[in-house]
Amino acid sequence: MRPAFTVQASDGAARAGRLVTAHGVVETPAFMPVGTYGTVKAMTPEELEGLGAQIILGNTFHLMLRPGPTIVAAHGGLHRFMHWQHPILTDSGGFQVFSLKSLRRITEEGVRFRSPLDGREVRLTPEDSMDVQLALRSDIAMALDDCTGHPATESEARESMERSMRWAARSHAHYYRADAPGGLFGIVQGGMHAALRLASLEALLRLDWPGLAVGGLAVGESEEERLAVLESLLPHMPAGLPRYLMGVGRPQDIVAAVMRGIDLFDCVMPTRHARNGHLFTSTGVMNIRNSVYRDDLSPVDAACDCYTCRNYSRAYLRHLDRCNEILGSRLNTIHNLHFYMGLMRSLRATIAAGDLAAWARGFLTGRRAADAVA
């Protein structure tokens, strides 16, 4: 089923919408917890449902290497393989290949790289990426792109962007060559160069996509550079398509992007921070490993009603972390994902009420100094 998107309310450039897929509806703005290997680390699907997760992200690159698309396809797709019967978006593998740096070689054909598991050479072309994602049967697949590094000259960014556009056309043709289980999103590239971003968008719009993503951000650029890209690009993106900002995950960055018109987000931050003892709270980020919490009997956040905050103290969570107990990672993850799901609910509600600017002003002011640890 091809995903369908409708905007139900707007407040300035921000939108609240509904993304309908074969496995259910996603209310936007929405955050997708990352399930790299077919699991959101430390969480069962039932726990994710209870926290309010509507859609999760699976990683094509890692699932291609292990366990391989054949095994997932034998289960009927990723939904059944991991026991998650709600929407799934799979990335294309482009960012993971980008992160390999010295282990990869990019050509017009695609990418050849050394597997981080066993060192064998692996090929990933646009057609390969589509075949894997079709086997995973995700609701939303992503075109393979050449993620532009940072910093990049105009010439370097242009070469990378134009390659991504050729790969996008190949991805589109291969994904839709027969009945597809979902829909394929295109990815706008172009680095920090506004003219290249618009040229990328123009090239993508020659094809029919049910959604578009903004890629090549969260790669080391400053906040000012990232916002400049969004402000120059988003007014030109089709209003009737969902807009996905890939890999951006700090709460204040999500709020700023929603205010400029972004609908979907993903990031490993809430789960990775949880495993490293960093907990998101209404007043900032808390490092539970600090010795000041050794005898602290209070919950992580008195304003939070998650399972962790209702039942456990800061002292206990610090104790679990110091003992490297699995329960510590689980409780921290429950708290952080509860925070993120609550943030997205607040954004949807304030957009619908027309109160986003005032709410965001208070939220962003309160976090600028407090989130320095993130």
Report how far residue 351's alpha carbon sits from residue 14's, in angstroms, rounded to the nearest whole number: 7
Name the catalytic one among 11, 91, 146, 301: 91
pLDDT digits (tens, 9 = 90+) for 103-151: 788 999 999 988 889 999 999 999 999 999 999 999 999 999 999 889 9
What b/e sequence results for 238-258 when a residue is b if at least 16 CB atoms lie within 10 Å of its CB, and e otherwise? eeebbbbbbbbbbbbbbbbbb
Query: Would you place residue 100 in the very low, low, confident or very high pLDDT band (cuts 50, 70, 90)?
Result: confident
Confidence (pLDDT) at 104: 84
Residue 179: active-site member: no
Confidence (pLDDT) at 47: 98
Q: Is residue 367 scored above 90 in pLDDT?
A: no
Q: Is residue 289 scored above 50 in pLDDT?
A: yes
Name the catalytic one among 128, 263, 266, 301: 266
Q: Is residue 314 scored above 70 in pLDDT?
A: yes
pLDDT digits (tens, 9 = 90+) for 57-76: 999 999 999 999 999 999 99
More confident residue, 222 or 115: 222
Q: Is residue 266 scored above 80 in pLDDT?
A: yes
Q: Is residue 373 scored above 60 in pLDDT?
A: no
**Average pLDDT of the chain to the nearest whole number:** 96
Confidence (pLDDT) at 113: 87
Report how far residue 320's alpha carbon sits from residue 35's, in angstroms, rounded to the nearest whole number: 24
Confidence (pLDDT) at 371: 52
Q: Is residue 37 scored above 60 in pLDDT?
A: yes
Confidence (pLDDT) at 57: 98
Q: Is residue 92 scored above 60 in pLDDT?
A: yes
Confidence (pLDDT) at 269: 98
C-alpha dist (Å) from residue 50 to 14, 46, 229, 341: 27, 6, 35, 10
Burial class from Cβ neighbours inside 10 Å (0-12, 13-18, 19+) for residue 120 reads exposed
SS3 assignment, position 10: strand
The residues, ordered by sequence, that sit 6+ positions from 271 with a Cβ below 8 Å of its Cβ are: 33, 34, 40, 41, 42, 333, 336, 337
Helices (H), the chain: 45-51, 60-65, 69-74, 78-82, 94-100, 126-136, 154-175, 194-204, 223-233, 251-259, 269-275, 307-311, 314-322, 326-353, 356-367
Q: Please give the average per-residue pLDDT across 320-328, as a whole number.
A: 98
Q: Please give the average per-residue pLDDT across 163-180, as a whole number.
A: 97
Query: Would you place residue 97 in the very low, low, confident or very high pLDDT band (cuts 50, 70, 90)?
Result: confident
Q: Is residue 78 scored above 90 in pLDDT?
A: yes
Q: Is residue 374 scored above 60 in pLDDT?
A: no
Percent with pLDDT over 90 in the chain: 91
Confidence (pLDDT) at 372: 47
User: Using only C-alpha atoms, what is the Rg of the chain?
Assistant: 20
More confident residue, 147 or 4: 4
Confidence (pLDDT) at 368: 63
Residue 266: active-site member: yes
Maximum Cα–Cα distance across the chain:
62
Q: Is residue 321 scored above 50 in pLDDT?
A: yes
Assessment of whether the complete model's pTM goes beyond 0.85: yes
